[in-house]
Amino acid sequence: MALPFTGRRAAAAAFTAALIVPLSACGNGGSEEAGGSAKPTGPGAGTPPARLTVLAAASLTDVFKAAGAAYEKANPGTRITFSFAGSQELVAQVKQGAPADALVTADTRSMDSVRADTGTPAVIARNRLVIATGEGNPHGIDELKDLGDPKLKVVLAAPEVPAGKYSRKILDAQRVTVRPVSQEPSVRAVLSKVELGEADAGLVYRTDADSAPGKVDAVDIPDAQNAIARYPAATLKQSRNAEAAAAFVAWLSSPEAQRILRDAGFQKP
């Protein structure tokens, strides 16, 4: 039997609470560790301190921890908690009323699907797919067509996941038939399967492959055969910290945030 609306909100809130990643546990970039000496600069300067919850695509996991630490250092008293998941899961949370302040997805279609719940989105970065293989590329995979080999164990993101949509798009364009051994709920889950040796290859973003040096190799896909992933960010209308949420979203387009994204391998918007 379907839960009443209030029940759905409670369930969504509980799900979000289980996923959130407290930034203070990920590093020592918070303002308390900095001794309160940091001076607010750029977007966010002068904004009252707040505790923000940001729903973000799984492929942003590593870079957003670094970005969040930098933002907290520049804005003493502000704390950011991230909830990382596949964009389709984040969208479901927003639709069910999960408490959050901002949303960043790995495609514009997911963001557009919750247009009524967000402010005006801005694309903050781009990404491209690569073929992730085991370290040393033991199966000698050189191009997309190699993924059609029925002897290979290939894993893809599920069709509803942005990385899964991009993967199917480029495989179909090259007329490559892949029967994946599994379809995962996020691109990071695809990467994990390859890292653990449970798959011979998988399609992930360049930044995901770069996050696992010594564990996976990345086979480049020519631009003419690739797809561009765009990451839009927006405030959520349900936010109880609207001013602080807007400041953080604006900061993501600032030179400092863009430098952090570039250093992690993301491309300019």
Give 48-98 as a DSSP string.
Answer: PP-EEEEEEEGGGHHHHHHHHHHHHHHSTT-EEEEEEE-HHHHHHHHHTT-
CA atoms within 13 A on the CB side of 194: 36
* pLDDT > 70? residue 163: yes
Q: What is the pLDDT of residues 80-121, one digit of tens each?
A: 999 999 999 999 999 999 999 999 999 999 999 999 999 999
C-alpha pair distances (Å), 237 with each of 101, 110, 242, 245, 246: 8, 16, 8, 10, 10
User: Which structure tokens are listed for 167?
Assistant: 């993967």
Domain map of the chain by residue range?
A: 5-125+230-263, 128-228
Other C-beta atoms closer than 10 Å to the C-beta of 24 total 16
Token pair 């009252």 is at which residue?
48
* pLDDT > 90? residue 14: no
Name the nearest CA neighbour of 89 among 56, 59, 41, 116. 56
* Confidence at 44, pLDDT banded by 50, 70, 90: low
d(CA 60, CA 261) in angstroms, rounded, equals 9
Angle at CA of residue 155, ends 151 and 157, nearest 5° = 155
* pLDDT > 50? residue 241: yes
Q: Which CATH architecture has domain 5-125+230-263?
A: 3-Layer(aba) Sandwich (3.40)
Judged on CB neighbours under 10 Å (0-12, 13-18, 19+), 83 is buried
At residue 47, the pLDDT reads: 74
Q: Do domains 5-125+230-263 and 128-228 have the same CATH topology?
A: yes
At residue 43, the pLDDT reads: 58
**Is CATH 3.40.190.10 what the domain over 128-228 is classified as, yes or no?**
yes
Q: What is the pLDDT of residues 171-190, one digit of tens each?
A: 999 999 999 999 999 999 99
